[in-house]
Structure 1
Amino acid sequence: MTAILDIELVRTFHAVARIGKFSAAAEQLHKSPAAVSVHIQRLEAVAGGRLLNRDNQSVSLTALGRRLLLSTTELLSTHDRVLADLHGTHLAGRITLGVPDEYAVHVIRDILPTFAAAWPNVVLELKTAPSYALRDLVQRGKLQAAVIAQPKGQPSAQVLVLTTPVWVGPTHTAVASMDPLPLAVHAAQCPYRQAMIESLKHSGRRLRVVLESPSNQAIKACVEAGLAISLIDRAMVTDNMQILDGLPVIPEHEIVFVRSSSSHDDEAVNLLAQAMQQHFRL
C-alpha cells in the first residue's frame, strides 16, 4: 500500500521543529505531549527513519528531518490556501498588526502575501516599532496583534520560534577588545538593548554607545563597518560579521505572537495567528 502523508502529522512535526520542544509544541497545538510523540512516531514510520534527535532539554532535526521540513513547507501553505479558497473567501475584517523592524521583512515578504491572497477581504494595517512598545500598544488595545521578541518563558504568549542572541563584531577588526566597549544598540523598549547593557554592567565592562537606532539595518551596517559590536539573533549573522566569545552569555529569547484581549474571538486574527505559527522562520 502506498504511504500517505497525513497533514495533521506534518503540522505537528513543523511545530516541534520550529519550537524545539515537545512540551511547548504540545501546548501550542492544544494536544498532550504523548499525542505529539505519537504523531512524530507515525510520521517517522511513513518517512522511513528518525526525524528528530531528542534529549531532555530540546530536539534538533536529523538530515532526514531537514529534508522533510523543507519539502513540506509549501505543502502546508497549499493545503491551507485551498481550504481558504473553498470555504473562507467570505471572511472580511481589519487587522492592525505590529512587527519589530528586525522581523518586518520576513513577515511582510514571506507570510503576509499568502495570507492576503487567501483572505482578500481582510484589510491589513502594519506598524513597526520596538518589541516592548508594540506589546504596550497591544495591551492598551491600540493594536490587535503583534510579533515581538522577549526573554524566554514569559506567560501569555504564543511562541513562534526560539532564538539565540549572540554578540557580533566585524570580521577583521578587534572592536571587542576596546575599553570602553563600543556598542550599536537598538532603540529603547527593545529586549536586546536591555540585555546588552545590563549584562555588560553586571560583568564590570565599561561601554559607550556609538549608535542608537530603531533600524536593524543601521545596527548591522555599524557592526560590519567596524564601528561597534551588537547583539542579534544567531540566524541573522552576516558574512561580514563574526560571533564574539568572552562576553556575557545571553539566555535564549523567543519570538511570540501576542494579541489584545478584544481579539481572542476574532476569526481573522485567529487565522493570522495560525499563519504565523506555520510559516515563521529565522
Structure 2
Amino acid sequence: MTAILDIDLLRTFHAVARIGKFSAAAEQLHKSPAAVSVHIQRLEAVAGGRLLNRDNQSVSLTALGKRLLQSTTALLSTHDRVLADLHGSHLAGRITLGVPDEYAGHVIRDILPTFIAAWPNVVLELKTAPSYALRDLVQRDKLHCAVIAQPKGQLDEHTQLLVATTPVWVGPINNNLAALEPLPLAVHAAQCPYRQAMIESLKHDGRRARVVLESPSNQAVKACVEAGLAISLIDRAMVTAHMQILDGLPLIADHDVVFMRSTASRDDEAVNLLAEAMQQYFRL
C-alpha cells in the first residue's frame, strides 16, 4: 500500500519543530503530550526514520526531519489555501497588526502572502515597534493584534504561544569585547524586552557598560556587533556566521514569542484565522 502523508500528523510535526518542546506543542494544538508522541511516531513510520532528537529539555530535528520540514511547509500552506478558497474566500474585514522589527521580515515574507492569498478581501495594515510598545497599543485597542516577545511564564487569555526563544549574548568573531570594561553595548529601542533584560542583568552582576548604539532596527544592532563595535543580546536562532556566542556574561531566561489580540477582536473571525496562520508557520 502506498504511504500517505496525513495533514494532521504534519501539522503536529511542524508545531513540535517550531516550538521545540512536546508539552508546549501539545498545549498549542489542544492535544495531550501522549497524542503528540503518537502522531510523531506514525509520521516517522511513514517517513522511514527518526525525525526528532529528544531529551528531557527540548527536541531538535534530525537530518531527515529537516528535509521533511522544508519540503512540507509549502504543502501545508497550499492545503490551507485550497480549503479557504472552497469555504471562506467571502470573508472580509480589516486587521491592524503589530510586529517587532526583528520578526517583521519573517512575518511579511513567509506568512502574510499566504494569508492574503487565502483571504483576499481581508485588508491588513502593519505597524513595527518594540514589543512592549505594541503590547500597550493592543491593550488600548489601538491595534487588533500583535506579535510580541515577552519573558516566559506570562501567557494569559489574550496571548497564544508561537515559539520559545533563547536569548544569548553575542559579539564579533575573533574579538573578545566581553573582557572590556565598561562593556560596549548595542541596545534595542526602549520598550524592548531584550534591552530591559540586558541592562537589568548587567546591573545585577555589577558590570559597567556604555551604549555604543541604540536603535529600533534589529539589522542595525546586528551590523554593529558584526563590525566589532559592540556586543548585544539576540535570539540564538538569529546568530549569524559573523558572530560568536559569548560566555561569562549573565544568563538570560528564555522568552516566548506570542500572538496577542485586543479584547475587542477576541471574536473576530479574520483575527482568529490570522492567529491560526501565525501558529502554523511561525518559526525562527
TM-score of the two chains, using structure 2 as the length reference: 0.95
**1:192-215 Cα deviation digits (max 9, x unpaired):** 001101111111111111111111
CA root-mean-square deviation: 1.3
Q: Distance in 2 between matches of 1:223 and 1:52?
A: 33
The more displaced of 45-54 and 248-257 is 45-54
The more displaced of 40-49 and 118-127 is 40-49
Q: C-alpha displacement at 1:90, in angstroms?
A: 0.2
Q: C-alpha displacement at 1:77, in angstroms?
A: 0.5
Q: C-alpha displacement at 1:24, in angstroms?
A: 1.1
Determine whether 1:230 maps to 2:232: yes
The amino acid that maps onto 1:268 is A
Residue 115 of structure 1 aligns to a residue whose secondary structure is helix
Q: C-alpha displacement at 1:55, in angstroms?
A: 2.3
Residue 44 of structure 1 aligns to a residue whose secondary structure is helix
Q: C-alpha displacement at 1:163, in angstroms?
A: 1.5
- Corresponding position of 1:191: 193
- Corresponding position of 2:217: 215
Cα–Cα, structure 1 residues 53 and 240, in superposed 2: closer, same or farther, change >3 Å?
closer
Q: Distance in 1 between matches of 2:16 and 2:106?
A: 21
Q: Distance in 2 between matches of 1:278 and 1:155?
A: 18
Determine whether 1:241 maps to 2:243: yes
Cα–Cα, structure 1 residues 38 and 172, in superposed 2: closer, same or farther, change >3 Å?
closer
Identify the match of residue 202 of structure 1 among 201, 204, 209.
Answer: 204
Determine whether 1:7 maps to 2:7: yes
Q: C-alpha displacement at 1:272, in angstroms?
A: 0.7
Residue 238 of structure 1 aligns to a residue whose secondary structure is coil
The more displaced of 230-239 and 52-61 is 52-61
Q: C-alpha displacement at 1:174, in angstroms?
A: 2.9
- Corresponding position of 2:58: 58
Segments of 5+ residues of structure 1 without an aligned counterpart are: none
**1:139-164 Cα deviation digits (max 9, x unpaired):** 11111110111112222221111221
The amino acid that maps onto 1:159 is L
- Corresponding position of 2:254: 252
Q: C-alpha displacement at 1:266, in angstroms?
A: 1.0
- Corresponding position of 1:103: 103
The amino acid that maps onto 2:62 is T
- Corresponding position of 2:275: 273
The amino acid that maps onto 1:195 is A
The more displaced of 75-84 and 40-49 is 40-49
Q: How does 1:137-152 map to 2 (within 5 A)?
A: 137-152=137-152
- Corresponding position of 1:42: 42
CA contact (8 A) 2:19 2:283 kept: no
Q: Distance in 2 between matches of 1:33 and 1:102?
A: 31
- Corresponding position of 1:263: 265
Cα–Cα, structure 1 residues 54 and 240, in superposed 2: closer, same or farther, change >3 Å?
closer
**1:232-253 Cα deviation digits (max 9, x unpaired):** 1122222222221111111221
Q: Distance in 2 between matches of 1:212 and 1:197?
A: 13
**1:163-208 Cα deviation digits (max 9, x unpaired):** 2111111224332221111111111111100110111111111111
The amino acid that maps onto 1:146 is A
Residue 219 of structure 1 aligns to a residue whose secondary structure is helix
- Corresponding position of 1:87: 87
The amino acid that maps onto 2:114 is T
Q: Distance in 1 between matches of 2:116 and 2:83?
A: 14
The more displaced of 141-150 and 64-73 is 64-73
The amino acid that maps onto 1:121 is N
- Corresponding position of 1:25: 25
The amino acid that maps onto 2:268 is D
Q: Distance in 2 between matches of 1:150 and 1:232?
A: 13
Q: C-alpha displacement at 1:56, in angstroms?
A: 2.3
The more displaced of 211-220 and 124-133 is 211-220
Q: Distance in 1 between matches of 2:21 and 2:44?
A: 17
Cα–Cα, structure 1 residues 53 and 109, in superposed 2: closer, same or farther, change >3 Å?
same
Q: Distance in 1 between matches of 2:269 and 2:34?
A: 29
Q: How does 1:110-125 map to 2 (within 5 A)?
A: 110-125=110-125
**1:220-264 Cα deviation digits (max 9, x unpaired):** 122122221111112222222222111111122121111112222
Q: Distance in 2 between matches of 1:61 and 1:166?
A: 21
Percent identical pairs in the alignment equals 86
